[in-house]
Amino acid sequence: METAEVGPYSLVPLGGGASGTVGACRRGGEAVALKVFPGRLYRRTRARLDRELAALARLGDTVRIVVPQDVEPMPDGRCALRMELCAQSLARLVATSGPLPVADVLVLGITLASTLVAAHRAGIVHGRVTPSNVLFRTSGEPVLSDFGHTLREVFVRDPDHGIAYLAPETFDDGVAGPAADLYGLGVVLHTALAGSPPFPADAVRDTVRHTPAPPVDRPEAPIDLLVLVDQLLVKDPDDRPPSAEAVTRQLLRLWDEHGPEPEPETPDTPRTSFGTEVFAWPPQPPGELPPVRKKRSWRFAVVPAVAIAVAGGWFLTRGPAEYVPPASAAPASGIPSRTAEPVLLELAEPADLGTTATLSWNGPAGWEFAVVVAVESGPTKTTLVRHDRSATVPIDARLKYCFQVQATNGVRVEVSRPRALRGATCRE
Ligand SMILES: Nc1ncnc2c1ncn2[C@@H]1O[C@H](COP(=O)(O)OP(=O)(O)OP(=O)(O)O)[C@@H](O)[C@H]1O
Q: Is 354 left (phi over 0), alpha (psi -120 to 50) or beta?
A: left
**Measured between alpha carbons, how far is 17 from 11 in angstroms, rounded to an integer?**
16
Residues 416 and 426: beta-carbon distance below 8 Å = no
Q: Which of 159, 233, 171 is nearest to 205 (CA)?
A: 171
Find the 310 Cα to ligand 1 centroid distance in Å: 37
Tell me the whole-structure pTM to 2 decimals: 0.74
* Distant-in-sequence, close-in-space partners of 408: CB < 8 Å, separation ≥ 6: 223, 224, 227, 367, 368, 414
ipTM (interface predicted TM): 0.97
Residues 238 and 169: beta-carbon distance below 8 Å = no
Say which DSSP state 38 is in. S
* 287 and 141 in a common domain: yes
Binding residues: 35
Specify the pLDDT at position 23.
92
Q: For the domain that residue 131 is a member of, what is the CATH number?
A: 1.10.510.10
What are the pLDDT digits (tens) for 345-357? 999 999 998 888 9
**Measured between alpha carbons, how far is 187 from 282 in angstroms, rounded to an integer?**
20
Q: Residue 75: inside a domain, yes or no? A: yes
φ, ψ at 23 (rounded to 5°) = -145, 160
Ligand 1 site, residue 87, Cβ cutoff 6 A = no
* 182 and 133 in a common domain: yes
* 180 and 57 in a common domain: no
* 97 and 71 in a common domain: no
Find the 115 Cα to ligand 1 centroid distance in Å: 19
Q: Which of 116, 120, 119 is nearest to 184 (CA)?
A: 116
What are the pLDDT digits (tens) for 260-313? 766 655 566 667 777 776 555 555 555 556 555 544 332 222 222 222 232 233
Atom of ligand 1 nearest to the CA of 83: 1
Specify the pLDDT at position 387.
85
Indicate the SS3 state at residue 168.
helix
* Beta pairing, strands 79-84 & 88-89: unpaired
Ligand 1 site, residue 81, Cβ cutoff 6 A = no
What are the pLDDT digits (tens) for 184-200? 999 999 999 999 999 99
Specify the pLDDT at position 288.
57
* 175 and 300 in a common domain: yes
- Domain closes at, from 66, 84, 102: 84
**Measured between alpha carbons, how far is 251 from 200 in angstroms, rounded to an integer?**
26
- Domain closes at, from 268, 303, 318: 318
Binding residues for ATP: 35
* 215 and 164 in a common domain: yes
- Domain of 404 in residue numbering reads as 346-421
Ligand 1 site, residue 93, Cβ cutoff 6 A = no
* 208 and 133 in a common domain: yes
* 138 and 161 in a common domain: yes
* 95 and 78 in a common domain: no
* 311 and 166 in a common domain: yes
* Tally of helices (H runs) and strands (E runs) in the chain: 10, 18
Q: At what angle do helices 223-232 and 102-121 cross, to 10 degrees?
A: 40
Atom of ligand 1 nearest to the CA of 18: 25
φ, ψ at 94 (rounded to 5°) = -75, -30
Q: Residue 237: inside a domain, yes or no? A: yes
Domains of the chain: total: 3
Q: What is the mean pLDDT of residues 366-382?
A: 84
* 71 and 31 in a common domain: yes
Neighbours of 352 (CB within 10 A): 14
φ, ψ at 359 (rounded to 5°) = -115, 145
Q: Residue 337: inside a domain, yes or no? A: no
**Hey, whose CA ends up nearest to atom 8 of ligand 1?**
22
* 272 and 234 in a common domain: yes
